[in-house]
A and B are shown apart, each in its own frame.
Chain A
Amino acid sequence: MKLISIPAEKFEDYRIDAIFDCYKWDPQFLDNHTLAKYALVITKKEYKELAKLTEDLDFETRQAEEFLNHHLHLAKKLAISKKISKELKRMSNYDPDRNIRLMRYDFHPTIEGKWVISEVNSDVPGGFAEASLLPKLAIKNLGGVGYDSIDFGEQLAKAISRKIKPKGTIMFVHCTSYSDDRQVMQYLGDKMETLGFRSIYGAADHLQFENKEAISILDGHQGKVDCIFRFTPLEWLKDIKPKTWDGYFDTITPSCNHPIAIFAQTKRFPLVWPLLEKHNIKLNTWKKLLPNTIEVKDAKDKEGYIYKPAYGRVGEKISIQEACEEGEYQKILKEVRKQPKKYLAQQKFVSKPLKSSEGEAFHVCLGSYTIDGKHAGFYARISKKPRIDSNAADIPVIIERKKKS
């Protein structure tokens, strides 16, 4: 794995093309570009290794979540909020064949020369256009030869097409006030329209449920919906008033993702592994790749553990001291003490930074997607700090072709 520079004289045009042709509508965050000046090159061997690990992880995750779905008493340790827990029993009719299961596993290279994963984005993984169009744009700017890329969006669109009727209506459910959510939805919505589907964009409360079928109440677009593509996190649904969201849990309308995603979305998921293993659910790949994860109270006298929020996003509130802003570390510790069940403790790993040809060092988070159990592409971010958060930059992942001997 290595970083290669987008030629400096091409970078500004590359950035503008990424904005307009690759749905990168949020190119700036504070004083930083959100688009790296590099591409991340992986070898075929690394690609195959990651794809295999990702599929193995995904098999275990799906086995675990389907088991938990029918043994909800085992899920208590996950500390899922009361409002959502109440609805979980509705999911007993969950049928994986009817829904589209999309996940992204975040891999990191370590100084020991191994891969570790930091989490699975089980509920609402993003980065779709960055994992589909951006690598092609990068390859074009690198001369167009010598590299391949995976078109994640193509595979996701096909997976959705397989499960809904031709020309069906898809509602892209998202937080409609955020343009960075809309860019993800718009990319996929446009893609589905090229395949003959009808894409409509709404908020979580623009759906209601009748006879377990999703019905759009979006102004001007009322009627039956054939697929729900949800980008609003499940744990945010519970705050919607009046309560119109419980139907998401037992709808027979195909969903991506179905709320079954909640079990692995909480980073407390590893805390139920001992219970799952007693029931012969194998989690060997997870155990090999995820650093040891324990309750906050059990980490008190242990060295080398960090705290993570159960429902954190984009690296927020993770207590990696050297990556925290001024005062942030103390603030996290205070919150951990106050609400230990909303956090977990995890053994810290030491990320191995990659050096660019200019001598800059970057930590890498390489997200690896699965759709219905099959590997489907990569989405990566790099950062000068070991915590990959909102200050990180998106970087296209491209695969080096084997040189002909």
Chain B
Amino acid sequence: MTGKEVYKIWAPIGIKWVDWVRPVPFIGIDRPSKLHEFIDYSIPNINYLRECSKDTAIIIDIEGINSIQEGIALAKLGYRPIPIFNGTNPTPGSRSTTNNAIIEPLLVWGALELKTIKLKEDAPPAFLLDKNRLNRYKINRSIFDNSWDIYPQDIPTPEYLLENGITKIIIRGDLLQKDLSKVLYKFQKRNITVLFTNGYEEPKKIKIKKPKIDEI
């Protein structure tokens, strides 16, 4: 499948939330930059949710591969997985801070899985992130820094979520990353409840600290 074909499965025309699917890794599918090691294509169990709630959006912020696998598991529960990965690949032959390319074969696999799942048109969104996006460590200056951040413009506004009946956001991750915290502070201010789960425990309500003025 081409990147465009894979994208069209993740972002079918005319469906709610899919305008936010980020194209960058789909474009990478047509430009393979490295060979991928063995990837586990299994679908995990979701332990922190029993069913799909129409008033709840989810943000998965774990390893990119697992994020897509969990996105498919959530699709089986009734959520619309929305990949918002936005990192680029280095010039072939360069080492980089972040392995963004590793999610490309998973997106192809996920597309094939999605084709077998019947999702409702009004399915609430599960935004998929890669926690490795913030890997900025360079052993030396020559390394290509393709780390990336999530910004407010990358997801719908709080107003859009509220207009579409979303009043809660569950973050599923190891911790609340700094960039996501900055983005979600505005959602909390608009009275959207932010909950957090490590994937094993029930989501618990959290209070996001106000970012410093220059970070807002």
Contacts and interface: CB of A to CB of B under 8 A. Distances in A.
Interface of A: 12-13, 16, 19-20, 25, 27-31, 33, 176-179, 182, 199-203, 205-206, 217-222, 244, 390
Nearest to A28: B19
A217 B23 CA distance: 30
Interface residues of B, number: 37
A30 B152 contact: yes
Interface stretch (B42-50, B120-128, B136-144, B202-210): B136-144
B142 A222 contact: yes
B189 interface: no
Contact of A219 (B30, B143, B147): B143
Contacts of B19: 27-28, 33
B24 A177 contact: no
Contact of A20 (B7, B93, B142): B7
24 contacts: A13-B13, A16-B4, A16-B8, A19-B4, A20-B4, A20-B23, A20-B26, A25-B23, A28-B19, A28-B153, A31-B159, A33-B19, A176-B144, A177-B87, A177-B148, A178-B148, A179-B24, A179-B148, A201-B91, A217-B141, A218-B91, A219-B143, A221-B93, A244-B141
Contacts of A221: 91, 93-94
A218 B30 CA distance: 24
Nearest to A203: B145
Contact of B144 (A13, A16, A179, A202): A202
Nearest to B87: A179
A12 B7 contact: no
Contacts of A202: 91, 144
Contacts, number: 92
A29 B160 CA distance: 13
B146 A200 contact: no
Contacts of B26: 20
B27 A177 contact: no
B142 A19 contact: no
B90 interface: yes
Given A16-B8, A31-B156, A177 B147 contact: yes
Contacts of A218: 91, 94, 142, 144
B88 A176 contact: yes
A390 B153 contact: yes
Given A25-B23, A179-B148, A221-B91, A206 B141 contact: yes
A27 B23 contact: yes
Contacts of A200: 91, 94
A105 B190 CA distance: 40
Nearest to A208: B141
B144 A219 contact: yes
B142 A176 contact: no
Interface string B7-37: 1100001100001101110110010000000
A30 B153 contact: yes
Nearest to B24: A179
Contacts of A25: 22-24, 27
Nearest to A222: B142
